[in-house]
Amino acid sequence: MATEAQEARLGNGRGFLRRFNRLSPQQVLVIGFAALIVVGGLLLSLPVASRRGDRLPFADALFTSTSAVCVTGLVVVDTHDQFSLFGQLVIICLIQIGGLGIMTISTLVFLILGKRVTLRGRILIQEAMNQLTLEGMVRLIKKVIVVTVVVEGIGAILLALRWSGEMSFPKAAYYGLFHAVSAFCNAGFDLFGGFKSLSMYRNDIGINLIITGLIIIGGLGFTVVTELLENPFSPKRSLHTKLVIRATLSLIAVGTVIVFLLEAKNPNTLGSLGVGEKVIGSYFQAVTARTAGFSTIPSGNLRPATLFFLVILMFIGASPGSTGGGIKTTTFITLFLAVLSVIKGRDDVEIYERRIPKRLVDRALAVSMISLTMVVAITMVLSSVQKFEFLEVLFETVSAFGTVGLSTGITPHLALPGKILIMLTMFSGRLGPLTVAAAIAQKQHIVQVRYPEEKIMVG
């Protein structure tokens, strides 16, 4: 009987492996992230995770877990006021796993155990890290781990030294580590209570520069960061790195100027500050709106024009292969270059004496259209089930899609349908709309047929 039971278990195990191997890389990533979110929700709903020792409703725990795994920062309950040390540690672990990606953590475990990463594992890493080729996947993971440990470690030390003057050193060290991980992973979770984020440090140059530095490095993408570290002074950069750096610096500069111009005379945000403090506040807002979620000025007090401009920044988001969301900087700049090519009457999309392949231009267009469609649909549905101003709903939806975490203050007041919609938006935004769409769609093996070409009138 024991032998038959063992054979049955082995048969079930083989059947599970066969079904698992039939899953596409996109389906594996979607299932993995969903499973992690559910486990995190269960842990955060335990009494030990609550500061008061009571059970957090599972819907709120699941929302918090989704926000942490998707490195967003939207919260329905305050992280400091609601969660105990155990709950906070669960959240920071979810942020770290969600920021680096499940395949990165899995590969790290395999490397520690001395196991070989299979071809299927490398394909999964390629999909998770948004890489173009399979070459050097394990080597890339090792670099990602080293960069993460070093950058988060330096950030944690600097923040701990800064906060050691106003709290005990153990607490300062813990706060430094928590916020360094949260900032590098572009998550936006904080431990200062009362949904205040970093508003008490809006004039602190040190805190502003450390946090924004971590956000920017985390948002560049691991491929770009490793290339810069390996050849810091080399004039020869890959086209991808050149575009990411150019787009990042341009968006930060333009964002800082526009926020400054729009909010400089707003008494509820920057109006009462000096010129230097206004510049710092504008700079921080331009950086954090790209995908981080920390705030030094309340988003609910911003002018409507500023909110709408931040919606655009949030929709663009960070760069590919990073801890951030959005359609990505390279997608935006590829579409921008494609428009310029059409205006100039050119067939190819060109920059830096290089030509961007048409399939990548098509992919950028697909990502943007799917993302825009999803944001419009969610905003319309959310507006019909929640009684908030339209701009507030749009801001919340794009913040969730871009895994940003900024809010005008409506997140804690969402009803269950609203929470579900925002959770789905965060999930899609973190994995990427194309990944989710490919995971849902059924593969069809059909013969490719090219039909006769016929022109239509456009524009």
Express each pLDDT in 403-428 by its tens digit: 898 999 899 999 999 999 999 999 88
Which residue do the tokens 């697909």 mark?
366
DSSP 405-449: ---SS-GGG--HHHHHHHHHHHHHHHH-HHHHHHHHSPP------
Q: What's the pLDDT at 459?
A: 65
Q: What's the pLDDT at 9?
A: 55
Task: Using the CB atoms, write b or e for 177-214: b if 16+ within 10 Å.
Answer: bbbbbbbbbbbbbbbbeebebbeebbeeeebbebbbbb
Spatial separation of the C-alpha atoms in residues 436 and 33, rounded to whole Å: 11
Q: What's the pLDDT at 183?
A: 93
Contacts of 58-66 spanning 24+ positions with Cβ under 8 A = 59/416, 59/419, 60/419, 62/37, 62/38, 62/423, 63/419, 63/422, 63/423, 64/40, 64/91, 65/37, 65/38, 65/39, 65/40, 65/41, 65/94, 66/37, 66/41, 66/423, 66/426, 66/427
- CA neighbours closer than 13 Å in the CB half-sphere of residue 194: 6
Q: Counting beta carbons within 10 angstroms of the beta carbon of residue 31, is it exposed (0 to 12), middle (13 to 18) or buried (19 or more)?
A: middle
Q: What's the pLDDT at 108?
A: 60
pLDDT less than 50: residues of the chain: 1, 16-17
Spatial separation of the C-alpha atoms in residues 220 and 233, rounded to whole Å: 17
**By the 8 A CB rule, do 124 and 28 touch?**
yes
Spatial separation of the C-alpha atoms in residues 415 and 383, rounded to whole Å: 12
Residue 124: phi, psi to the nearest 5? -65, -40
Q: What's the pLDDT at 113?
A: 56
Q: What's the pLDDT at 1?
A: 46
The whole-model pTM stands at 0.87
Which residue, among 165, 126, 172, has the nearest Cα to 320 in the 3D structure? Answer: 126
* pLDDT tens figures, 372-404: 999 999 999 999 988 899 999 999 999 999 989
**By the 8 A CB rule, do 189 and 73 touch?**
yes
